[in-house]
Amino acid sequence: MTAVESRPAGVLGTTPPHRPLGARVGAFVALTKPRIIELLLMSTVPVMFLAQRGVPDLWRVLAVVLGGYLSAGGANALNMYYDRDIDAVMSRTERRPLVTGMVSPREALVFGITLGVVSTLWLGFLVNWLSSGLALAGLLFYVFVYTMGLKRRTAQNIVWGGIAGCMPVLVGWAAVTDSLSWAPVVLFLVIFFWTPPHYWPLSMKVRDDYAKAGVPMLPVTAGNLAVAKQIVAYSWIMVAVSLALWPLDHTSWLYPSAAAVLGAFWLKEAHGLYARAKAGVVGAKLKEMRLFHWSITYLTLLMVAVAVDPFLR
């Protein structure tokens, strides 16, 4: 019986035994997956500078950052609530709060829903309802489409599930302009095509974990060479799309220069991974995590260029 089949249907669990207050608080913070949210906010704030063509209102930035954290945190808590069975099977997630019993399933469910409601109202009343609606759409997509629909059913789960991670750029733009335009759509697509080659190298590293849990991540259903081919394809599309912001938003020289240089380094790493996979390299010598770590640096520096570019026009 797989982890998916063994899910105790309809059981919410009971309150966990007494734990130190500090540990309990830390467990609830862990439910929000703060390190993932850092990436989401890293794409939100720079877009606000781009939309403002300068420095946006700092109180609005703070409101968006807090609202975005609450929204993404609620989605992540609900993700952990639903995935608690497979988290218990996988070694890299076996210390999560629901697995250790630091937080009960009922508490996680209530916590996630509460964060979602509070974030929606917070952004709606303090920023605008367009940004609130976009953040809520990202939350609902992540929970119902990715977590409950795609993750356990298709090897393309991270491709389409990544749409939720693209929403922060739309939220950031809408928070400033109360509208949407081609510029945030381009950045939405950059992150859409960035997500698979960002996550697949990590999935290659922990493929045995996913296989044990019955989750059909692409590295589980296909060999390293097939995954590396798709990584290269998505990487080329991502770099090409990133350059489209230059003519569409009339950026200065800084953004296209940064996008081209960063993209060149990305493609070098992607093709290097493909060459090693084609040569049949396995284990530590495959060095798949080099691309994973570079992908975070790439997105960080690209978004820095997005934020700084308006000041050079």
At 227 the pLDDT is 96
pLDDT of residue 18: 64
Mean pLDDT of the chain: 92
Query: Which pLDDT score, from 0 to 100, does residue 283 have?
Result: 83
> Which domains are present in the chain?
24-178 (1.10.357.140), 181-313 (1.20.120.1780)
* Residues 30 and 75 sit within 8 Å (Cβ to Cβ): no
Could you read off the pLDDT of 182-194 as tens digits, one per residue?
999 999 999 999 9
- Averaged pLDDT for residues 166-175: 97
Please count the other Cβ atoms lying within 10 Å of the Cβ belonging to residue 39: 19
Residue 2: pLDDT band (50, 70, 90) is: very low
In terms of pLDDT, which residue wins out, 5 or 205?
Answer: 205
Name the more confident of 79 and 92: 79
pLDDT class of 310 with cuts at 50, 70, 90: very high
Read off the amino acid at residue 72.
A
**pLDDT above 60 (res 15):** no
Distance CA 267, CA 111 (A): 41
Question: What local confidence, expressed as pLDDT, does residue 185 receive?
Answer: 97
pTM over 0.85? The answer is: yes
State the Cα torsion 50-51-57-60 to the nearest 10°. -110
What string of H, E and C letters represents the secondary structure of the chain? CCCCCCCCCCCCCCCCCCCCHHHHHHHHHHHCCHHHHHHHHHHHHHHHHHHHCCCCCHHHHHHHHHHHHHHHHHHHHHHHHHCHHHHHHCHHHCCCHHHHCCCCHHHHHHHHHHHHHHHHHHHHHHCCHHHHHHHHHHHHHHHHHHHHHHCCCCCCHHHHHCHHHHHHHHHHHHHHHCCCCHHHHHHHHHHHHHHHHHHHHHHHHCHHHHHHHCCCCHHHHCCHHHHHHHHHHHHHHHHHHHHCHHHHHCCCCHHHHHHHHHHHHHHHHHHHHHHHHHCCCCHHHHCCHHHHHHHHHHHHHHHHHHHHHHHHC
Q: How far, rounded to the nearest angstrom, does the alpha carbon of residue 137 sit from its chain's CA centroid?
A: 14
Nearest Cα to Cα of residue 31 among 139, 148, 111, 145: 111
Q: Which of 254, 259, 308 is nearest to 55 (CA)?
A: 308
pLDDT (mean) for 137-155: 97
Distance of CA 313 to the CA centre of its chain: 31
CA distance 218 to 211: 10
